[in-house]
């Protein structure tokens, strides 16, 4: 199978077909783990299940596992479900931090209920994820999950600090996205390699692939925040600007103009809606520069895959990397 010529819809279809049994098993595990006698908790977890979307991180774990070992196992499916719960927990907490009203075209938990419910739900999902991972009997997997979630939280804290200080360098930005998004991608790929019996070199390479892919994915997300309306992305448009967050396209847009023009660019970013930014060439130049960086990261991630066996799983991983920077949501 050649991934090079797949359209976005074709890729989604092939992924769903290729991983059908595995994803069904993962979703059964998620349903079992979140089953409760509390009607209130059931209502909230049912609502937040709509956040799942593409389930990209579980897919990465399963594809890496299959690429090395063939069919997925009960352990890899359980770890994939744990990863999805951790990701959902971070989304719930992110929406509180960002004061976001919408996620995947539905109301955020803190808007539908309240902030206290969101915080407790995020904690509940983290707790269930660690309990599920522990049930695999792999203590090292639990340690790796703990390390990655620590770094993810640290990335969020550093992003908040940069926003409060109103100054973000490129070095700051890349450190933040490596931790905030890259860590969970890297963890997914590392756990898939471990569960599949990958050797040390394969585990390191799988993690590096995930880190690079996650960083490219976040840069693309930051471009979408400037380029599209909430109708397209399913979440609040311009959220980064509203929260005084300097992302890579913003940093590049400011860098690419003479110093005397930088206050004007800052004012445009502060006052214009995302739909109107297309009228400003300086902003578009920053967006193009950020996209170029995301493309370079995906090329390096794809090069990492050359160390693994050729087959449909590797082709799909390559296709995911290729589409990470040209998606519309």
Per-residue pLDDT in tens (0 to 9) along the chain, 329 residues? 344 456 778 898 999 999 999 999 999 999 999 999 999 999 999 999 888 778 999 999 999 999 999 899 999 999 999 999 999 999 999 898 888 888 878 899 999 999 999 999 999 999 999 999 999 999 999 999 999 999 999 998 988 888 777 667 899 999 999 999 999 999 999 999 999 999 999 999 999 999 999 999 999 999 988 876 555 555 555 566 666 678 999 999 988 888 888 888 888 887 777 677 777 888 899 999 999 999 999 999 999 999 999 999 999 999 999 988 876 66
323 neighbors 8 (Cβ within 8 angstroms) = yes
Give me Rg for the CA atoms of the chain.
Answer: 20
Q: Residue 209: helix, strand or coil by DSSP?
A: helix
How much is the pTM?
A: 0.92
104 neighbors 154 (Cβ within 8 angstroms) = no
The length of the chain, given as a count of residues = 329
62 neighbors 99 (Cβ within 8 angstroms) = no
For the chain, which domains are there? 8-323 (1.10.600.10)
210 neighbors 247 (Cβ within 8 angstroms) = no
């Amino acid at each position: 199978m050649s991934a090079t010529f797949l359209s976005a819809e074709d890729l989604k279809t092939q992924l769903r077909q290729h991983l059908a049994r595995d994803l069904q098993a993962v979703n059964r595990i998620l349903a079992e783990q979140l089953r409760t006698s509390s009607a209130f908790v059931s209502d909230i977890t049912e609502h937040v299940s709509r956040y799942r979307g593409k389930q990209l991180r579980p897919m990465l774990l399963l594809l890496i596992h299959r690429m090395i070992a063939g069919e997925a196992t009960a352990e890899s499916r359980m770890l994939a479900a744990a990863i999805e719960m951790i990701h959902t927990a971070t989304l719930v907490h992110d929406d509180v931090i960002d004061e976001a009203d919408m996620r995947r075209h539905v109301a955020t938990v803190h808007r539908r209920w309240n902030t206290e419910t969101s915080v407790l739900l995020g904690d509940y999902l983290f707790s269930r994820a660690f309990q599920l991972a522990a049930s695999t009997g792999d203590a090292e997997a639990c340690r790796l999950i703990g390390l990655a979630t620590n770094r993810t939280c640290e990335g969020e804290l550093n992003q908040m600090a940069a926003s409060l200080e109103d100054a973000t360098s490129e070095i700051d930005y890349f450190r933040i996205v490596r931790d905030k998004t890259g860590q969970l991608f890297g963890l997914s790929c590392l756990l898939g390699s471990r569960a599949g019996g990958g050797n040390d070199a394969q585990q390191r390479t799988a993690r590096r692939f995930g880190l690079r892919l996650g960083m490219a994915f976040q840069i693309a997300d930051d471009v979408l925040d400037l380029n599209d309306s909430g109708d397209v992305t399913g979440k609040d448009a311009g959220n980064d600007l509203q929260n005084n967050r300097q992302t890579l396209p913003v940093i590049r847009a400011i860098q690419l103009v003479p110093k005397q023009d930088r206050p004007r660019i800052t004012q445009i970013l502060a006052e214009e809606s995302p739909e109107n930014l297309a009228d400003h060439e300086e902003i578009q130049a920053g967006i193009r520069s950020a996209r170029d960086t995301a493309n370079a990261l995906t090329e390096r991630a794809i090069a990492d895959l050359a160390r693994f066996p050729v087959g449909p799983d590797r082709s799909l991983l390559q296709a995911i990397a290729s589409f990470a920077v040209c998606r519309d949501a």
